């Protein structure tokens, strides 16, 4: 795992300093993941992946070595590089079931890492794909305890900023109710990005555990000190 400085996890530049999705450790042993904030994040906000992108009727083509590493959607109008290091799946039609990792993209073509080249060519008549980036994030939505949380912001991000989210180790989180020392917490508050107490009836199929409370927040909508454990 990459080593980073304490200063690095405080920085939120508007251009990336590290690879999206890269994981790293600070000298104190805490673990982090590098992301881009699609919307503003307050310090203590839980971040979740941005919405999936469904793309219908795509075709594929090969590079000079015969590897199927290009997926094209005619007139897609994508922003160049917007899907860099995203993951995807062919979820319908010819070639369904294949997964892939995107290196970058042009306005209409996804360029895959050669290691995830497709084994079966796609057919524009019926092949559909879905793309998801785990490293382009928004604040957790309200009410749901299952949101595939990526990490917790320890500093504020403006929309479009890049930076590190805490995934493992001691830090803080915004809690919509007073947490219980030693007990767990999940997404699901009525305010975006905030957490609530875990309840005894939850399990990993109904709620994503994010860690345990170390020092409870003084009141609702305040920061609590926690030990984060997001995998």
pLDDT of residue 229: 98
Chain segment 192-229, per-residue pLDDT in tens? 999 999 988 777 789 999 999 999 999 999 999 999 99
Alpha-carbon 58 to chain mean position: 25
CA distance 192 to 176: 10
Name the band, by pLDDT with cuts 50, 70 and 90, for residue 54.
very high
pLDDT of residue 203: 79
Relative to beta strand 185-187, strand 128-132 is unpaired
CA distance 181 to 215: 6
34 pLDDT more than 80: yes
Chain segment 160-196, per-residue pLDDT in tens? 999 999 999 999 999 999 999 999 999 999 999 999 9
pLDDT of residue 188: 94
Ordered by where they begin, the domains of the chain are 2-49+136-229 (no CATH), 53-132 (2.40.30)
pLDDT of residue 71: 98
Task: Please compute the mean of the pLDDT values over residues 109-115 and round it to a whole number.
Answer: 98
Chain segment 126-147, per-residue pLDDT in tens? 999 999 999 999 999 999 999 9
Q: How many CB atoms lie within 10 A of CB 132?
A: 16
The percentage of the chain sitting over the pLDDT mark of 70, rounded to a whole number, equals 100
26-29, long-range: CB within 8 Å, 24+ apart, which pairs? 27/3, 28/169, 29/169
0.85 surpassed by pTM: yes
CA distance 113 to 100: 8
CA distance 35 to 170: 19
pLDDT of residue 97: 97
């Amino acid at each position: 795992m990459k080593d980073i400085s304490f200063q690095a996890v405080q920085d939120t530049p508007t251009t990336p300093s590290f690879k999206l999705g890269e994981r790293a450790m600070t000298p104190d042993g805490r673990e982090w993941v590098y992301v881009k904030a699609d919307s503003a994040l307050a310090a203590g906000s839980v971040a979740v992946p941005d919405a999936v992108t469904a793309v219908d009727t795509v075709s594929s083509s090969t590079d000079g070595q015969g590897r199927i590493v290009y997926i094209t959607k005619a007139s897609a109008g994508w922003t160049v590089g917007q899907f860099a290091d995203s993951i995807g799946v062919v979820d319908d039609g010819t070639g369904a079931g294949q997964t892939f990792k995107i290196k970058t993209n042009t306005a209409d073509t996804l360029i895959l890492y050669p290691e995830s080249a497709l084994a079966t060519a796609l057919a524009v008549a019926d092949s559909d794909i879905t793309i998801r980036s785990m490293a382009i994030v928004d604040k957790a939505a309200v009410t749901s305890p299952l949101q595939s949380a990526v990490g917790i912001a320890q500093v504020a991000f403006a929309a479009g900023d890049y930076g590190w989210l805490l995934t493992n180790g001691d830090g803080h989180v915004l809690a919509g109710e007073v947490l219980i020392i030693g007990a767990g917490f999940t997404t699901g508050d009525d305010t975006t990005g905030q957490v609530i107490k875990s309840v005894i009836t939850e399990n990993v199929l109904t709620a994503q555990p994010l860690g345990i409370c170390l020092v409870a927040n003084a009141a609702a909508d305040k920061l609590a000190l926690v030990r984060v454990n997001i995998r």
